[in-house]
Structure 1
Amino acid sequence: MKILAPLVLFTLQGALASPTLQHSKALPSCTIATATTTPNFILREYLLETIAGTNGSGGAQTLRGTLAVENPATGEIYRLYRIPISVGGGVWSVCRPGQDAPLPKELEVCQYLIERRSRRIGFRFKWVCGGDEEILFDATVIGELPEEVCVAKDGAEGGVVQTCTLPASVEGSLLLPVENISWEKVSAAGK
């Protein structure tokens, strides 16, 4: 396996700039042609959980999400399990590992956008495809969410007081059109 120099992308979150992931995995299964002709990624899983505050007087609630997106160019599914979700809305946020699982190691960069009021969801992924020459792909996908189905909970299971999913008619098959995709060959110096 070839080791690539880690990529760092800075995204403003609040007043701080945060670096993204520093993972790398060469994938032999995709080409420039398959990546640049892929019209959509597919949202395979969508679950947002509201967690009750823990200071005894209610406190601030937090939001976590489990999201899975299929990249048809590679056949991989990037599953983001119980990641903290930014409640600001309308801001690209860096994917952060959840308490129970790391982020997908296939990704060099992962960002998400969830605008619940306007019902938009988006992802920005960077991944490396291998073969004779390694290529770094950068894709942004943005789709429209149908109205969420939310259910109140009693908080007994890990403090969860509400769960929101997508309607059964679209669960696992929501198309996220590719807004843009670019690629570059990974230089020998970066290996």
Structure 2
Amino acid sequence: MKRNVLMDGNGSDTVMIEGLGVYVPVSQVRSMQAELERLRTANLDSVAVCEQALQAKTAVEQERDQLKDEVPPNECGSNRYGLDCSYFRGVINRELNRPLVDFKPDELARVLMRMAVTADAAVLSEPEFLRRVDLAQHDAEVIERALDHLERRATEEGYFTIDPIWLKEYADQLRQQAKEAQS
């Protein structure tokens, strides 16, 4: 509400503000006006800070609502690569939903191997997974070297401590296993 300011008419520095009934010095009126202006400015600054906070809150709420609207991937049926997601989710939940400290190595290997075969059996024929074949091949070579060594010793010393024919047959058997595993 606005009030009329009346000068006392005697040339003094006091004024009368209508409705207050007292004369106050002009300097006091000016300091009150300055204080009022400072409070208005502070109020405007507070309003600006509140508006920024409200905008930030609105942005956070919109992001939250957007995340709520996002649906987790559907694991029923096959994915875009043809992998049967529901099968693997079921196996993982059923077989691997216990602490790993409770698994024996062969149990875990069986579970993972079944999953690997179901996912893509052709991957198991890649060189990385053919170590067993490599071991069979290696064993055959070691046996043949041992056989050669025994034959050399036999010709030098004239006797065998092991039947070399049995060793040769075992090496051939290992080589055959390696060939069958590769094909």
The two structures share one fold, judged by TM-score above 0.5: no
Larger radius of gyration: 2
User: TM-score, with normalisation over the residues of structure 2?
Assistant: 0.22
Richer in strand (by share): 1
What is the TM-score of this pair, normalised by structure 1?
0.21
